[in-house]
Structures are given as structure tokens and as C-alpha cells.
Copies of this chain bind each other. A is one copy, B any other.
Amino acid sequence: MAKNTAPKAPENAETGSARSTGPRQRRSVRREAAVNAAFQLAEREGPAGLTMRKLAQELDVDVSILYRLFRDKDALVLALCERTIEIELDEIGDVPEEETWQDTLRRIADITWAYQNRFPAITLLSFARTTGGPAEQRMVELLLSTFERAGLPPTQTVLFYRTFIDTALGLCAHSASLSSLAPEDREKDDSAWTRVYSHLSERHYPATVRHIDDLTTVTQKAIYTAAVEAILSAAEHAVTEHLETERTTRSERTDKA
């Protein structure tokens, strides 16, 4: 799968301008058709292209119709966010019995990276939002139960779950932001390291000069992986500490008795 999950492709989703050709039962557009079209629009034109007007045009209806499907643009964005999580859950599938909690989280992190970067426009608009919808609910349950398998104390289970997901989405948003800059801004950003940082004086910026090669080659994905691994390790260590505290407490209690 993976290749074309987003558009479950309703009536005329594949052709950009499906104005007079298709069958004419496209009166009163359904929410799902709007969401699908929004995904295509977002993928094709980036965050600046995802507007209510263009979406209406894509669906060949007046823009005011959209406002009966979604209270406002924010509601549309939340629906897109929900759908993204749905796709990710689909791709994650069932968690195999023998998979460690670490590997489950690594797999979730990879899939999240893939889809959040495939739709940078949606990521940027929703990475810090809570939808409260069914897909998000299932994702929360999946992540929490996975962190529970680690054997952390309750407060830490929640703290690490939130640290994991917020960090992951924050770094996805970082990457999405870069990949959806206007071409010229993009160039300005990309070239900064070679354009300005390669020419700093060794006298005033010795560390920068020493590391210039690595600075120009490190990738956002490598950074993402490093952050995810750091959080997994931290969770592992918290488990170890927790077990040690428990053992100590128990032996103290035994001592008393």
C-alpha cells in the first residue's frame, strides 16, 4: 500500500479539472470528498495553496458550500489531521506479539515521519493541535499502551508518551516547514551553511569551522532518529531506576518485618 492511501478517490478525484465531464451527481459535496480533495491540493500546492476558495474550485462548487461542511477552516484542518492519523494507524496495523515496545515506537516514528512529510501543509497547520477525534483516540491508546509495556510508573508513562509524540511532531513540523518554503526562501535557507558558515573566520568561530563539513551534510531524518532514540533510551533508564527503587523499597520493608 503506502503509495496512494490518501485519496480513497471518490468520483472525480483523479483529474484536476473534472468540471463538465463526470456524472452530475456531485451536488451537495460530502465531507469525505472535500477532505480527499484537500489532501490532493495540499500535496500539490503546499500550505499556501490550501485555501477554502481553491478547495471549492477543485470541487467545482461555490466556496460557501464548504462552510456547511466545516464550521470554518480550522474544522477542515482538524479533519485533515484526523485523516492523516487514520492513514498512519492503517499503515502501523496490528502490533506483533513478539515486537518489543521500543521497536513498536520506532515503527510508529518512521511511519509518522513518512506521512507528516508527505503532507507538509497539513503537518504545519496541525502539528500542535488536539483533534479529539476517533483516530486520535486510537493513536493515544496505542502509544500509551506501548509505553505501559515498558513498565514505567504511571506519571512517567504519560510524560514519556507526550515527550515522544510532541518531539516527533515538532521535528516533523520543522522538516515540513523547510520543505514548503517558497523556492527562493528555500534556497536562501539551504545555502546558508555553505554560503555564510563556510566563510567564518577560524579565529572567532573555531568550533563552527572545525565542524563545517558535518554541518552541511547532517539530515533532518538523522536528527529525527537521534531524538527518537534519545527518548527511548531515557525511557529505558527510567524503567531501570524504577525497578531498582521498587526492589530497595521491598527489601526495606522486608528488613522491617
Q: Is A141 a contact partner of B208 (Cβ separation < 8 A)?
A: yes
A223 touches which one: B145, B162, B226, B229 (CB < 8 A)?
A: B162
Q: Is B200 a contact partner of A137 (Cβ separation < 8 A)?
A: yes
Q: Is A158 a contact partner of B195 (Cβ separation < 8 A)?
A: no
Most buried by B among A128, A140, A144, A227: A128
CA distance A195 to B159 in the complex (A): 20
Q: Is A189 a contact partner of B129 (Cβ separation < 8 A)?
A: yes
Q: Is B178 a contact partner of A211 (Cβ separation < 8 A)?
A: no
Q: How far is the CB of A134 from chain B (nearest CB, A)?
A: 10
Contact A140:B223 (CB < 8 A) given known A215-B158, A237-B233: no
CA distance A58 to B229 in the complex (A): 47
CA distance A222 to B161 in the complex (A): 12
Q: How far is the CB of A105 from chain B (nearest CB, A)?
A: 13
Q: Is A211 a contact partner of B167 (Cβ separation < 8 A)?
A: no
- Count contacts on A: residues with CB < 8 A to the other chain: 62
Q: Is B128 a contact partner of A211 (Cβ separation < 8 A)?
A: no
- Chain B residues within an 8 Å CB radius of A237: 233
A157 at the interface (CB under 8 A from B): yes
Q: How far is the CB of A163 from chain B (nearest CB, A)?
A: 4
A154 at the interface (CB under 8 A from B): yes
Q: Is B132 a contact partner of A196 (Cβ separation < 8 A)?
A: yes
Q: Is B74 a contact partner of A185 (Cβ separation < 8 A)?
A: yes
A148 at the interface (CB under 8 A from B): yes
CA distance A144 to B159 in the complex (A): 29
A160 at the interface (CB under 8 A from B): yes
A102 at the interface (CB under 8 A from B): no
Interface membership of chain A positions 214-246, coded 1 if the CB is closer than 8 angstroms to chain B and 0 otherwise: 110010101100110111011001000000000
Contact A160:B226 (CB < 8 A) given known A141-B207, A145-B207: yes
A-B contact pairs, 24 of them (CB 8 A): A74-B182, A127-B174, A129-B189, A130-B189, A132-B195, A132-B196, A137-B196, A140-B197, A141-B206, A141-B207, A144-B211, A148-B207, A154-B210, A154-B211, A155-B214, A159-B214, A159-B222, A159-B223, A169-B174, A170-B171, A170-B173, A173-B174, A229-B234, A230-B233
